[in-house]
Copies of this chain bind each other. A is one copy, B any other.
Amino acid sequence: MKICGNLFADIPANPPDELVSALLERPGLRIERIVSHGHASPPGFWYDQEQHEWVMVLRGAARLRFQDQESDIDMVPGEFIEISAHRRHRVEWTSPDEPTIWLAVFHD
């Protein structure tokens, strides 16, 4: 893991799966770049995470769904949200037209 770099470098075009890169790993803290390109969570799947996740969209567009909430959340560049541990959520949609780049900070 490099201690510096550019998040917008090495963005693959149309990767078959979401691409997750760890940018920092410390006890109780992990910073990741996630690249989605039209990916969504599988039908019926919900993330149920041990850690809290502060996440933002840097580029692209996405839609998040929470099991405890009626309306989805549209994530455009700059949008951030703190997702508490075990708050069940899924990625309902990401733009098929361009890569969506997320920055995620997982923390205890």
- Please list the residues of chain A having a beta carbon within 8 angstroms of any beta carbon in chain B: 3-9, 23-24, 26, 28-29, 31, 52, 54, 56, 58, 73, 76-82, 103, 105, 107
Total copies of this chain within the assembly: 2
CB distance from A91 to the nearest CB of B (A): 16
CB distance from A54 to the nearest CB of B (A): 5
Main secondary structure of the interface of A (DSSP, over half): strand
B4 touching A80, Cβ below 8 Å: yes
Q: How far is the CA of A28 from the CA of B4 in the complex (A)?
A: 22
14 contacts between A and B (CB under 8 A): A4-B81, A5-B80, A6-B76, A6-B79, A6-B80, A7-B78, A7-B79, A7-B80, A24-B54, A24-B105, A26-B107, A29-B29, A31-B54, A58-B58
CB distance from A56 to the nearest CB of B (A): 7
A5 touching B54, Cβ below 8 Å: no
Q: How far is the CA of A29 from the CA of B31 in the complex (A)?
A: 12
Chain B contacts of A103 at CB under 8 A? 56, 103
Chain B contacts of A56 at CB under 8 A? 7, 103
